[in-house]
Amino acid sequence: AQTVTQSQPEMSVQEAETVTLSCTYDTSESDYYLFWYKQPPSRQMILVIRQEAYKQQNATENRFSVNFQKAAKSFSLKISDSQLGDAAMYFCAYRSAYYGQNFVFGPGTRLSVLP
């Protein structure tokens, strides 16, 4: 079974600075998808960014980018120019390209943005 680990329960960043959230995963599959989801205090999960494992190029979405290291099974999220609205729980998630429709989520990292 696949597992997702987020080793940083809490992180903080100064407004306008850059922060990197870590994620590692374990799988024996060669093709899969990785995601970062954001869950603000209102608790509705929102997709931040998605990465296909077959793509070598790291995904970017405006101020959000990932560092995908397939061999190391690492998938970190970099948030540039942090804003107060970025404060939330961030979940790393894995989805198989072959089996099932479900996501496997990590335990999350709580990000605080300091003014």
Q: What does the block give as tokens for 79?
A: 């948030």
Figure out which of the listed residues 34, 48, 106, 111 binds other proteins, where binding follows CB under 8 A.
106
44 counts as binding other proteins under rule CB under 8 A? yes
**How many residues at the interface with other proteins, by CB under 8 A?**
20
Name which of 75 and 91 has its Cβ closer to other proteins.
Answer: 91
Q: Token digits for 27?
A: 């799988």
- What angle (nearest 5°) sits at the alpha carbon of residue 52, between those of residues 51 and 54? 140
The neighbouring-strand residues paired with 14 are 114
The residues binding other proteins (CB under 8 A) are 4, 33, 42-47, 50, 91, 93, 100-108
